[in-house]
Amino acid sequence: MILLRKAKESDIDAIQEIARITWAPTYVPIIGQEQVDYMLEQMYNKGVLLEQLLGGYVFLIAELGSKSVGFAAYSVEDTERKIYKLHKLYVLPEVHGKGVGKLLINEVLDKVKTAGGSSLELNVNRHNKAKDFYLSAGFKIKETVDLDIGNGFFMNDYVMEKPLSGPESGL
């Protein structure tokens, strides 16, 4: 059985390990090892993760037995318009197809809707097959962006959005 729980500071090592394991097969073919190494260091070092954890990001950990097998992180992006952003969602390759990702995204959507969120947005690399996962979860492509992340690297993403109220929400 898959258990979801809110992450604590003691989960940072597990979050880093899941990111390290999932990023190589996902992103090296798309952006190369050098950019993967750079982005992991920029986005998943302990200081950054701790700052996010203490600064309003909600991290959810998915566990199968006693093993952490996935995580998601989200926060409020625009308090006035009640737009939330899914910053991270990664699941170990060994449990792909077992519903872990679906459970995580549905939990995030439920939490955001309960908090009064109007929509959930996310960025996904245009060549990442996770884009199809998000489309199947009801997200739509809102825009295409090329984000300069430093060191000569760019994130070539789709910004995707799922309304959580109104006729397009599907809820």
pLDDT digits (tens, 9 = 90+) for 20-60: 999 999 999 999 999 999 999 999 999 999 999 999 999 99
Of the pLDDT bands very low, low, confident and very high (cuts 50, 70, 90), residue 170 is low
Q: In what order do the strands lie in the sheet with 119-125?
A: 2-6, 58-64, 67-78, 83-91, 119-125, 153-163, 140-150
pLDDT digits (tens, 9 = 90+) for 71-94: 999 999 999 999 999 999 999 999
* DSSP at 1: -
Q: Is the pLDDT of residue 70 over 70?
A: yes
Here the tokens at position 116 are: 């009064």
**Is pTM, for the whole model, over 0.85?**
yes
Domain assignment present for residue 26? The answer is yes
Q: In CATH, what number is assigned to the domain containing residue 114? A: 3.40.630.30
As for how many domains the chain has, the answer is: 1
pLDDT digits (tens, 9 = 90+) for 95-117: 999 999 999 999 999 999 999 99
Domain assignment present for residue 168? The answer is no
Domain assignment present for residue 170? The answer is no
Domain membership of residue 50 as a residue range: 2-163
Domain assignment present for residue 77? The answer is yes
Please say whether the beta carbons of 73 and 57 come within 8 A.
yes
